[in-house]
Structure formats: structure tokens, C-alpha cells
Amino acid sequence: MGGSNHGLYRFDGQGFRCVLCSEYVGRINQALNGRLMLITSGGFVEYDGKEIIRHTGFGTQFGVHDNQIFDVFQDSDGKMWFCTFKGIRSIAEHRVSTLDPYQPAHTAAYRIHVGGNGALWVATGIGVYRITGRQMWTPQPNLHARSFYACKDGDLWVGTNGSGLVHFHPRLVTMYTTADGLQSDIAMAVLPAHDGRLWVGANCGLAVFDGTRFRTYAEKDGLANSCVWALAEDQQRNIWIGTYGSSNEGWGSRGALGCDSRRGHP
């Protein structure tokens, strides 16, 4: 499944088939019952594999318009978490709750992600916070996240908007910026590859981290466009690179090449 400015598409092995056409799809997550949970230009939508289920007026219970819901996630207990223009809200047993009295709970929240240890991470207008139960904590003030990746051992990699790449170890925070070899401090995408290296897409620039130093790539290395907004690795260990507006080549962990003409979006 893939979301885009022009709808939701499903790859059936032979080609892409439009499931939800002519509508912006900004986030895709899966519920415990297998349904896809979508954040679209029209609000919160679900897809059960056969039909689109629209939740018109859903935002009113949070005090926002439908198009002011930015992300959704269901945790292992079945609780639904929503990022909205007015903050973080959860729904359990049909009851809406907030994380009072924490200020981040009432500040615009844009992304939510589950960590390797089950903790929830949210990107808000005033920084990145971890939610454990009804407690909130930030490892570093004023971090503005563009991408998350959680490792199974509890580590978290965060691509930020202006603060570079941040690595949260248990009880330790490491920050990487242009001073460490990144081309840009705006990290748009993060991808730990099968071979242990970490790929970082920036606005603009592409780098790979081997645990010691960053090796960088640009147009002179074969990229049609070095503004990298999306990264993925396929089963053949090829690295696929989504750039802003241009077709480009991606390097595989074993040196294989792939092509991707997708346009990236924040």
C-alpha cells in the first residue's frame, strides 16, 4: 500500500491499483483488526480490504475540524491515539482522554510512533516527547521531528528539522549534525539497512553511517536529485530512494541498483 497526493494505491503483483482516488493520503497505519487507518485531506478514514469507511465529523470530539487530524495509532491494549491541531488525544472504550496537565498534550501534534519497548513517541509543535502510561518526557527540548525509526533494543533514531540526526539510547542522547559529516541538519528520512549501516535522507543530501563516520552522496554520484524525502529497503537488499520531483537511482546494500520515480512528501 502507498499513499500519495493523489490517493491510496495497492500493488497487486502486476501493477498499482487505486483504492482511494484523487484524495491526499498523509499517513497509513494498521489497526489490531487488520484494517488500514488513513489520515486523508478529508479526515480519518479506514480501509478493511474491500471498502473505504469514512468517519465524517470525527474531529468534533477533539474540538478540531476533520482535516486537523494529522496521525493515528492503535497500541497493543487497543487504545487509539490521535495527533491533532489541539494536541494528543486517546480513545478507549468510546471515551476521549487527554494527558492533563501536560502542555504538550494540548499543543499541535503531528506524528506518533511506537518505540521498540512499547513507549509512544510524538512530534509536537514544541518538541519530541515519549509517552509511557499517562507520563510524558522529552530527552531534548525543542526538537522538531521529521522522521522516526525505533530499534528493537529500545534505541530511537529521529530525523529533525534543523537539529540534524538524533540517536536516543537508553539513558543517553547522541546528536549528529553537519559538523559530523551530514550535508544538512534537516533529516527527512532514516533507514537502518540489513547490513547494519544507517541511511539518512536530508533536504538536501544523502548519507550512509557505518557507526563511525558518514559517507555522502549527491548528483555527481548519480542522483538525479539529492533532496531525499523517503528511503526503503526491499527483500533483495536494494535501497530505494524517493526524491523531490525527479527519477533517481538507489544503491543496494550489496551494490545493486534500483530506480524510483516517486515524489517525496513530509
Half-sphere exposure of 67 (CA within 13 A, CB side): 5
Evaluate whether 264 touches 229 at the Cβ level (below 8 Å).
yes
3-state secondary structure of 66: helix
Q: What was the pLDDT predicted at 252?
A: 46
Distance of alpha carbon 233 from alpha carbon 84, whole angstroms: 30
What are the cell numbers at 201? Answer: 535522507
What are the cell numbers at 162? Answer: 534543523
Evaluate whether 82 touches 110 at the Cβ level (below 8 Å).
no
Q: What was the pLDDT predicted at 4?
A: 52
Instruction: Show the DSSP H helices in 51-115 as ranges.
Output: none
The per-residue pLDDT for range 137-189, each reduced to its tens digit, is 887 777 888 777 766 666 778 888 888 888 877 666 678 888 898 888 888 88
Q: What was the pLDDT predicted at 192?
A: 85
Please report, as a single letter, which amino acid is at residue 255.
G
Asked if omega into 83 is within 30° of 0 (cis), the reply is no
pTM: 0.62
The per-residue pLDDT for range 40-58, each reduced to its tens digit, is 988 999 999 888 999 999 9
Q: How far is CA 32 from CA 44, 127, 183, in A?
A: 16, 28, 39
Per-run averaged pLDDT (10 residues), the chain, 266 residues: 63 77 84 92 90 93 95 90 93 88 84 74 85 77 77 74 79 79 87 88 88 88 82 83 62 35 32
Q: What was the pLDDT predicted at 108?
A: 93
Q: What was the pLDDT predicted at 119?
A: 75
Distance of alpha carbon 24 from alpha carbon 40, whole angstroms: 5
In the chain, domain spans:
139-266
Q: Angle at CA 219, nearest 5°, toward 192 and 211?
A: 25
Evaluate whether 115 touches 121 at the Cβ level (below 8 Å).
yes
Distance of alpha carbon 208 from alpha carbon 190, whole angstroms: 10
| 139-266, CATH topology level | Methylamine Dehydrogenase; Chain H (2.130.10)
Q: What was the pLDDT predicted at 13?
A: 73
